[in-house]
Amino acid sequence: MNILFVGDVFGSAGRHIVREHLPHVVESNAVDLLIINGENAAGGFGLTPSLAEDLFDLGAHVITTGNHIWDKREIFDYMSVPADSHDRPRRVLRPANYAHGTPGFGFYQGALADGTEYAVMNMQGRVFMSACDDPFRKADELLSKITAKVILLDIHAEASSEKVALGWYLDGRVTAVLGTHTHIPTADERILPMGTAYQTDVGMSGPYDSVIGVEKELVLQRFLTGMPGKFEAAKGNPKMCAALIHCDPTTGRAHHIQRIMLGE
Amino acid sequence: MNILFVGDVFGSAGRHIVREHLPHVVESNAVDLLIINGENAAGGFGLTPSLAEDLFDLGAHVITTGNHIWDKREIFDYMSVPADSHDRPRRVLRPANYAHGTPGFGFYQGALADGTEYAVMNMQGRVFMSACDDPFRKADELLSKITAKVILLDIHAEASSEKVALGWYLDGRVTAVLGTHTHIPTADERILPMGTAYQTDVGMSGPYDSVIGVEKELVLQRFLTGMPGKFEAAKGNPKMCAALIHCDPTTGRAHHIQRIMLGE
Amino acid sequence: MNILFVGDVFGSAGRHIVREHLPHVVESNAVDLLIINGENAAGGFGLTPSLAEDLFDLGAHVITTGNHIWDKREIFDYMSVPADSHDRPRRVLRPANYAHGTPGFGFYQGALADGTEYAVMNMQGRVFMSACDDPFRKADELLSKITAKVILLDIHAEASSEKVALGWYLDGRVTAVLGTHTHIPTADERILPMGTAYQTDVGMSGPYDSVIGVEKELVLQRFLTGMPGKFEAAKGNPKMCAALIHCDPTTGRAHHIQRIMLGE
Amino acid sequence: MNILFVGDVFGSAGRHIVREHLPHVVESNAVDLLIINGENAAGGFGLTPSLAEDLFDLGAHVITTGNHIWDKREIFDYMSVPADSHDRPRRVLRPANYAHGTPGFGFYQGALADGTEYAVMNMQGRVFMSACDDPFRKADELLSKITAKVILLDIHAEASSEKVALGWYLDGRVTAVLGTHTHIPTADERILPMGTAYQTDVGMSGPYDSVIGVEKELVLQRFLTGMPGKFEAAKGNPKMCAALIHCDPTTGRAHHIQRIMLGE
Ligand SMILES: [Fe+2]
Ligand SMILES: [Fe+2]
Ligand SMILES: [Fe+2]
Ligand SMILES: [Fe+2]
Ligand SMILES: [Fe+2]
Ligand SMILES: [Fe+2]
Ligand SMILES: [Fe+2]
Ligand SMILES: [Fe+2]
């Protein structure tokens, strides 16, 4: 079974490059399960219902997100659906370790057309980030409820230490632990000893002639002066970053992980 | 001209793997200039004079460091040498944007045997790190003093945004901007439009069956309980991470950058 | 009913000034319930069993702490007692919102000699501090278990916003919300509209010719150079800082809060 | 000579309470020099030129600010005046340790009607705040240029340690070191041994039935959910917080400091 996870789609450049490459990547790799992190799809900041629909139209089974999930308020209502729904809005996740009562859900369990069950968990780190619940214990809690063997975690976090630690913590208990949020792909993809695919950061799918997606002049101005200024999504040098995982659907253990970075 | 930069050497596992691979990498790539980040050489925490000497014995022209530089106090005196010295202690750098009066120096300019001048700058980021001076303006200041064309910057920083921004800021003004500190190599090595080689993080040279170098059980315990506990360097799965840069010594512009990760 | 809460006892200077003033303050104010924050009693960093015993000998019913609780390892075993114990070790608290499985407890419910029940909760903030569980929801959870009317919370936190917010959140539900950790007393003591006594920080009981307890030259050196150096407790100008609360034991509502700062 | 420093004026409630009390406080205390921190005057977030003019109309000689200075963009141009100007816009300060090239100035030296020279410095802390230059060394640098004996520093900072350390660092070199930013007055006002008046935080002049100025329900919602939401200035329970300092104008040394908190 093949799983494709696409890193943070950033702005229109990110959406275009994903639209360009996804069909042939999915087809040529016989992708069964497609997950896309969409937290930056809307101009770099958040996700709207209509952009979520676009990502589902591209074939996404689940959309994960992160700290930018609430940037666009239209998404609040969209994500407010019953827990047992399997409709698209139920398959847009926010980190599971956000406060109780936050709109939406942090994990989803569904089944592919052939009946194979899968689950996706979304979590946020706590090091150098806003306060949220313990992602290690939240993972334990979610895993106790999940019956699927094929389980993927998007750990949206800043610190490499926290992501790596979570990878070891879940090794052998999930199919893949994939990091997002730094917007830079890491070259440490591997299968951990107990069969969990791991990569510290998948990297964004967006404009790489930028500072992690944003127009570089605007970010440089911020670093140089500390003064406010509107951040706008850059356009140049778009690349789609993704991780392709091959796993055994009966055990959920991963056999192979491949890093993908495709440009124009 | 070929430059090899070796990422944070971590503990004995890091020292061993570097000692194993460095000779053949240097020889097969005709490396002219060798720079090693040694901030974690001493058991993961700091650098001693004798370990610095070992790295120089391996052929390092310059040793860069970062936030762990003061972990071992023996290094204070070792680094306290005249600014115009070219001896080994003068070639152990700490971030240049540390406070005025801190022992040692943040940049070094020297010449290879064939007379080619080169300079190495070491800088620390400010996002999610201890307070230090502005690395952008400090780079400007150092560049105004440097006469060498071949210039390499080790930017020791946590946030991908700050490293990427500094890469763009210095594009065309230095030969290479290479990140360190996260201990995870990134897959974004490239030559920026104006000829500067760039990689967000070179990755550590150390034990990858660990949490960024430290025994994983100890770090997991810290994450799970928040309780103190001695951190010890791990041993398993050592890899040497480095970046190999080819540049024109007359202009200092880079033509090629290659990511290297070598295990046992 | 009168409650005295003594702010972070810092080092020997703090212990001495508390020993000097506590007897007459307790007597002259007819204090019924005495709570002391002892997180810095041991040379400024942590609390030992023997120093905890000393504070109990002074009449403390409960000792609260904060982020320094684990600095002295001897306290781990001391605090590892059954939840239903009423012995002294059970009455040394660590923040209740620390990770599940951490030694000790974050709240205590007991009764005075006259049968009046009281409860003490200890909580840590999350803004600018290490990750821990949500103090707001943890307070809700503890309050659902507490049967006492007289309830005091020591909120050990950095940010004024978080402490003030918690005060409002618990107004009318606890007798007092008293802040600790910044080591500087605030002049905002008041009775909130629903009857909860509040003060953002009670201030430390320690040497005020210092930087929040530590020898000022050592801290200045740290600020000026960023270099490591042992921090030692200062001695000069000791003051005991405390808050005295008068409340109705039948309702738990506070009628009066008075800030106390007593020197030599 | 008498100096009055008024803490962060927050929103309309702050402006009203200051307008109500300032005339009689100034008159009854024979205030010679009036300084007001205005960073939150505009609805809690920033300062407009017209609100700056209002504060000058109330008699302010200098307006200091802090991290909220750039919240209202109209202030950029207003503050862009020649360094040697003595007009009102030149007397609106932003932290002196902001990046070089930032609009405005971080200190002002002027003279009272009787010819007494005075200087005001504005600085921002670095602990738990955005990166800026070293406030300790920046103070040294400014003091080397200042000829006035009467010198006041508004240190706008989060951490008590940094403010206290700066107080000791400047003791005997300036008339007063007064903290702002936490919006809660501290009860540690004192004259340091070498004659510098010190208070860790003067406290805001604003609505105290709030969370540091903002409507408490809005802040609680943020703490409880982590979700965005517009912050609005509260109105209830306004108080003017200030520090009144008596000093010798010929030496600049302070003899007395008094904390002031005046409500409706
Ligand atoms: Fe993102
Ligand atoms: Fe993110
Ligand atoms: Fe390192
Ligand atoms: Fe480092
Ligand atoms: Fe403390
Ligand atoms: Fe503390
Ligand atoms: Fe303020
Ligand atoms: Fe502020």
Give the pLDDT confidence of A97-122 residue by residue, as tens digits. 999 999 999 999 999 999 999 999 99
- From the list A71, A132, A227, the residue facing D102 with the nearest CB is A227
pLDDT at C5: 99
pLDDT at A223: 97
Whole-number Å distance, alpha carbon A182 to ligand 1 midpoint, is 7
When divided into structural domains, chain D yields a total of 1
List of chain B residues whose C-beta atoms are within 8 Å of the C-beta of residue D133: 133-134
DSSP bridge partners of C179: C155
DSSP state of B25: H
Q: List CB contacts of B198: < 8 A, sequence separation 6 or more.
A: B167, B171, B176, B177, B178, B188, B189, B190, B191, B192, B257
Q: Is B39 annotated as a binding residue?
A: yes
Q: How far is D129 from chain A (nearest CA, A)?
A: 11
> Is D130 in contact with A226 (Cβ distance < 8 A)?
yes
Q: Which of C258, C216, C261, C254 shows the shortest CA–CA distance to C234?
A: C216
Confidence of residue A167 (pLDDT cuts 50, 70, 90): very high
The percent of residues above 70 in pLDDT, for chain D, comes to 100
List of chain D residues whose C-beta atoms are within 8 Å of the C-beta of residue A39: none
What strands lie across the sheet with D117-124, from one edge to the other? D107-111, D117-124, D150-156, D176-180, D197-199, D190-191
> Is D223 in contact with C162 (Cβ distance < 8 A)?
yes
Task: Identify the active-site residue in C16, C21, C68, C246.
Answer: C68
Q: How far is C65 from chain D (nearest CA, A)?
A: 19
Task: Identify the active-site residue in A16, A21, A61, A68.
Answer: A68
> Is A160 in contact with B203 (Cβ distance < 8 A)?
no
Q: How far is C191 from chain D (nearest CA, A)?
A: 12
In degrees, to the nearest 5, what angle opens at C-alpha D149 toward C-alphas D146 and D151? 70
Whole-number Å distance, alpha carbon A233 to ligand 2 midpoint, is 14
The percent of residues above 70 in pLDDT, for chain A, comes to 100
CA distances from C140 to A137, C118, C145 (A): 20, 17, 9
> Could you tell me where the DSSP H helices lie in B106-192?
135-145, 160-170
Q: What is the pTM of this model?
A: 0.97
List of chain D residues whose C-beta atoms are within 8 Å of the C-beta of residue C186: 184-187, 201
Do A107 and A84 form a contact (C-beta atoms < 8 A)? no
Average pLDDT for D123-147: 98
DSSP state of A99: P
Phi first, then psi, for residue D140 (nearest 5°) are: -55, -45
Give the pLDDT confidence of C27-69 residue by residue, as tens digits. 999 999 999 999 999 999 999 999 999 999 999 999 999 999 9
- CA A3 to chain CA centroid, nearest Å: 13
Q: How many other CB atoms are found less than 10 A from the CB of residue A86?
A: 12
Phi first, then psi, for residue B178 (nearest 5°) are: -120, 130
Phi first, then psi, for residue C91 (nearest 5°) are: -95, 10
Taking only residues 98 to 137 of chain D, the set having a beta carbon closer than 8 angstroms to any beta carbon of chain A reads 98-99, 101-102, 130-132
Confidence of residue A196 (pLDDT cuts 50, 70, 90): very high
Ligand nearest to C-alpha A39: 1
Give the pLDDT confidence of B195-239 residue by residue, as tens digits. 999 999 999 999 999 999 999 999 999 999 999 999 999 999 999
Name which of C126, C140, C158, C162 to mutate to probe chain A: the one with the most chain A Cβ atoms within 10 A of its Cβ.
C126
Q: Average per-residue pLDDT in chain D?
A: 98
What is the spatial distance between Cα C143 and Cα C145, in angstroms, rounded to a whole number? 5
Residue of C nearest to D169 (CA): C220
Whole-number Å distance, alpha carbon A243 to ligand 1 midpoint, is 16
Average pLDDT for C240-245: 98
Name the maximum alpha-carbon separation found in chain C: 56
> Could you tell me where the DSSP H helices lie in chain C?
11-28, 49-57, 74-79, 135-145, 160-170, 216-225
Residue found by looking up tokens 């003791």 in the block: D171
Residue type, B168: W
What is the spatial distance between Cα D166 and Cα D190, in angstroms, rounded to a whole number? 14
Q: What is the DSSP string of chain D?
A: -EEEEE--B-HHHHHHHHHHHHHHHHHHTT-SEEEEE-TTTTTTS---HHHHHHHHHTT-SEEE--TTTTSSTHHHHHT---TT--SGGGGBB--TTSPTT-SSBSEEEEE-TTS-EEEEEEEE--TTS-----HHHHHHHHHHH---SEEEEEEE-S-HHHHHHHHHHHBTTBSEEEEESS-S-BS--EE-TTS-EEES----BEESSSBTTB-HHHHHHHHHH-------B--SSEEEEEEEEEE-TTT--EEEEEEEEE--
Do A13 and A233 form a contact (C-beta atoms < 8 A)? yes
> Is B225 in contact with C102 (Cβ distance < 8 A)?
yes
> Could you tell me where the DSSP H helices lie in C29-82?
49-57, 74-79
> Is the minimum CB–CB distance between C184 and chain D shorter than 8 Å?
yes
What is the spatial distance between Cα D211 and Cα D42, in angstroms, rounded to a whole number? 17
Q: How far is D114 from chain C (nearest CA, A)?
A: 35
Do B66 and B124 form a contact (C-beta atoms < 8 A)? yes
Confidence of residue A73 (pLDDT cuts 50, 70, 90): very high
What is the spatial distance between Cα A200 and Cα B160, in angstroms, rounded to a whole number? 13
The percent of residues above 90 in pLDDT, for chain B, comes to 100
Give the three-state DSSP class for B24.
Answer: helix
Residue found by looking up tokens 């302010």 in the block: D60
What is the spatial distance between Cα D55 and Cα D40, in angstroms, rounded to a whole number? 12
The percent of residues above 70 in pLDDT, for chain C, comes to 100
Whole-number Å distance, alpha carbon C183 to ligand 5 midpoint, is 6
Q: List CB contacts of C66: < 8 A, sequence separation 6 or more.
A: C8, C37, C39, C95, C122, C124, C154, C156, C180, C181
H helices then E strands: how many in chain A? 6, 12
Residues comprising chain D, all counted: 264
pLDDT at D34: 98
Ligand nearest to C-alpha D8: 7
pLDDT at A46: 98
D108 is in which domain, residue-wise?
2-263
> Is the minimum CB–CB distance between A264 and chain C shorter than 8 Å?
no
Beta strands in chain B (DSSP E): 2-6, 33-37, 62-64, 107-111, 117-124, 150-156, 176-180, 190-191, 197-199, 206-207, 238-247, 254-262
pLDDT at A65: 98
Confidence of residue C259 (pLDDT cuts 50, 70, 90): very high
pLDDT at D166: 98
Sign of CA dihedral C255, C256, C257, C262: negative
Give the pLDDT confidence of C11-31 residue by residue, as tens digits. 999 999 999 999 999 999 999
Task: Identify the active-site residue in B21, B61, B68, B246.
Answer: B68
pLDDT at B104: 98
What is the spatial distance between Cα C23 and Cα C4, in angstroms, rounded to a whole number? 12
pLDDT at A246: 98
Q: List CB contacts of A213: < 8 A, sequence separation 6 or more.
A: A8, A10, A11, A14, A40, A44, A183, A204, A206, A207, A233, A234
Instruction: Dig out the tokens for A263 from the structure.
Output: 């440009």
Q: List CB contacts of C223: < 8 A, sequence separation 6 or more.
A: D136, D162, D165, D169
Give the pLDDT confidence of D94-118 residue by residue, as tens digits. 999 999 999 999 999 999 999 999 9
DSSP bridge partners of D28: none
Give the pLDDT confidence of B122-152 residue by residue, as tens digits. 999 999 999 999 999 999 999 999 999 999 9
Whole-number Å distance, alpha carbon A10 to ligand 2 midpoint, is 10
Strands B2-6 and B238-247: antiparallel
pLDDT at D22: 98
Q: List CB contacts of A6: < 8 A, sequence separation 6 or more.
A: A18, A22, A34, A35, A36, A37, A202, A205, A240, A241, A242
What is the spatial distance between Cα C111 and Cα C114, in angstroms, rounded to a whole number? 8
CATH for A6: 3.60.21.10
Q: List CB contacts of B76: < 8 A, sequence separation 6 or more.
A: B70, B103
Instruction: Dig out the tokens for C170 from the structure.
Output: 């618990």
> Is C187 in contact with D185 (Cβ distance < 8 A)?
yes
